Amino acid sequence: MRELRCIVFEDGELIKALIAHGQRTGKAMPPGQISSFEIERTPEVIARMVITSDAGEKTIVPTSGAQLAAAMIAYCIDRRVPVPAHAAKSITVIDGHVALKITMRPD
């Protein structure tokens, strides 16, 4: 038997997680405002932010895979949401929102 938990992120939470992760890893977002945010579900989940500079230039910032998972896990840890270190983790989409799927097996 195994236990499955899903932590579903609202778009605003995911944006905060991505920005904080970028700052933490030295990959800050380009200057400007977030003008759009979308989730693409191809073979993998991709979160795309479009940043519009004051001059009107648009920069697309995609995040997926390990970077997306690391941002979500760090966000949970920062908010004291327990994330078991030895559990299997993956990213999925539930009801149009990105979710951190945690699968725990008994010892």
pLDDT in tens, 69-91: 999 999 999 999 999 989 999 99
Model confidence, pTM: 0.90
The tens digit of pLDDT for each residue in 18-76 reads 999 999 998 888 899 999 999 998 889 999 999 999 888 999 999 999 999 999 999 99
CA nearest neighbour of 49 among 24, 17, 81, 91: 17
